[in-house]
Amino acid sequence: MNLYTTSIDIIRAGQARSGAYVASPTFSQYGYSWLRDGTWIALGMDCAGQHASAHAFYQWVGRTLEAQRPRLETLLGKLARGETPDDLDYLPTRFTLDGAPGEDFWWDFQLDGYGTWLWGLVDHVGRTGDDDLWAALRPAVELTARYLGALWQVPNYDCWEEHRDRIHLSTLAAIYGGLDAVCQRAPDLVPPDLPQRIRDFALGQGVAAGGHLVKYLGTETVDASLLWTAVPYRLVKVDDPRFEHTLAQIERDLHRPGGGVYRYAADTYYGGGEWILLTAWLAWVYAERGEPDRARPLLDWIAAQAGPDGALPEQVPDHRLFPDRYAEWEAKWGTIARPLLWSHAMWLIVTSRLGEGPCQS
């Protein structure tokens, strides 16, 4: 079984005719498309040379966000008048595969995915030279940039859909990364000083006394999503001392020696197992730091987690942080998501980056 080709096949099977990628085709809660997951899945497909698949995803994003324009105008109007928006005024986190907001309750005010897709689109257009796609999506980019420009300092749920009352560093990094990427390509779409203001705020407020970046403002703890601050968003460089301190803390607190990477030390979701996508992210960081030998054992561990059909899960529960918190989730939502398309995408991204696929990231 070749995990590279299996990953492409699993992602292809999980892409709807609309272009949307399902987060997981089998897990009870993940029958939707997230901008966050979808962007990494599209990048994985780009890395594997499957550009048409990524193209279809971005076209779907464009149509989906265009349909949200009235909601955005209502929201911006309320903000301009000094009114407090209702929860339903914020743009959704996940959409049905047809591009409608989901009808079930979800932890919906999350900004990181909106920065993520901007970063991903600019990356995709840069790789493929698809200027027509960029031109077609400019209105959706402009809409997203206005949304982020209005709200980036407002607390919102993080990439794990938790802590709505906090400002999260990985979210700021995604917003910075997305807006900075747009600025490079179309400076007229973003206020020229905005990316730098976001960066100054994040690095001014988000560094602990010990020199590392924090999970959210007001804590000293770390979260493995802080890896994203350097790779790929470049809020900090991979050799910036602030990132090196962060990496050291993640290695010490969140990487199980010989195993995978936890999200954060207090994680109780399915007992808090090791996440495939974060283990791949650590490998990606090592690759970017010119340390491929540190990346390979992580990839070996990931490959060993694939089922007989090659499917990778979201997380692996063998060494849970809170073993007694597993059963409640299984009773509520069923067994851990498998396959998770984002896990497969990360495999494609990292193996390509290490020179084992058709292109470099």
Say what the alpha-carbon torsion angle 239, 241, 243, 248 is, to the nearest 10 degrees.
100
CB 303 within 8 A of CB 296: no
Q: How far apart are CA 121 and CA 126, in angstroms?
A: 8
Q: Which of 48, 125, 148, 159 binds ligand BGC (CB under 6 A)?
A: 159
Residue number, 34 or 264, with CB nearest to ligand BGC:
34
Q: Which residues have a Cβ under 8 Å from the Cβ of 290 and sit 6 or more positions away?
A: none
Q: How far apart are CA 142 and CA 138, in angstroms?
A: 6
- If binding means CB under 6 A, how many residues of this protein chain bind ligand BGC? 9
Q: CB of 144: closest distance to ligand BGC in angstroms?
A: 18
Q: Rule CB under 6 A: say whether 274 interacts with ligand BGC.
A: no
Residue number, 36 or 338, with CB nearest to ligand BGC:
36
239 is catalytic: no
**192-229 burial by CB neighbour count: b if 16+ within 10 A, else e?**
eebbeebbebbbeebbbeeebbbbbeeeeebbbbbbbb
66 is catalytic: no
Half-sphere exposure of 153 (CA within 13 A, CB side): 9
Residue number, 23 or 141, with CB nearest to ligand BGC:
23
Q: Rule CB under 6 A: say whether 20 interacts with ligand BGC.
A: no
323 preceded by a cis bond (ω within 30 of 0): no
Question: Which DSSP category does 341 fall into?
Answer: H
Q: How far apart are CA 215 and CA 162, in angstroms?
A: 12
Residue number, 95 or 342, with CB nearest to ligand BGC:
342
Q: Which of residues 25-84 bind ligand BGC (CB under 6 A)?
A: 30, 34, 36-37
Tokens of 303: 């490959």
Q: Which residues have a Cβ under 8 Å from the Cβ of 12 and sit 6 or more positions away?
A: 50, 53
Q: CB of 32: closest distance to ligand BGC in angstroms?
A: 8
Q: Which of 146, 150, 155, 161 binds ligand BGC (CB under 6 A)?
A: 161
Tokens of 226: 């802080």
Q: CB of 188: closest distance to ligand BGC in angstroms?
A: 31
Q: Rule CB under 6 A: say whether 160 interacts with ligand BGC.
A: yes
Report which residue type is found at 67. Answer: A
Among residues 158, 223, 274, 288, the one annotated as catalytic is 158
Q: Rule CB under 6 A: say whether 11 interacts with ligand BGC.
A: no
Q: Rule CB under 6 A: say whether 23 interacts with ligand BGC.
A: yes
Tokens of 187: 């400076």
Residue number, 23 or 203, with CB nearest to ligand BGC:
23
Q: How far apart are CA 215 and CA 209, in angstroms?
A: 14
Tokens of 54: 């990524």
Q: CB of 162: closest distance to ligand BGC in angstroms?
A: 8
How many Å separate Cα 12 from the centre of its chain?
Answer: 19
Stretch that binds ligand BGC, among 136-144, 157-165, 169-177, 302-310 (CB under 6 A): 157-165
291 is catalytic: no
Among 208, 224, 214, smallest CA distance to 166 is for: 214
Among residues 161, 240, 244, 253, the one annotated as catalytic is 161
Q: CB of 210: closest distance to ligand BGC in angstroms?
A: 27
Among residues 46, 112, 180, 314, the one annotated as catalytic is 314
**Catalytic sites, residue numbers:** 158, 161, 314
Q: Which residues bind ligand BGC (CB under 6 A)?
A: 23, 30, 34, 36-37, 159-161, 342
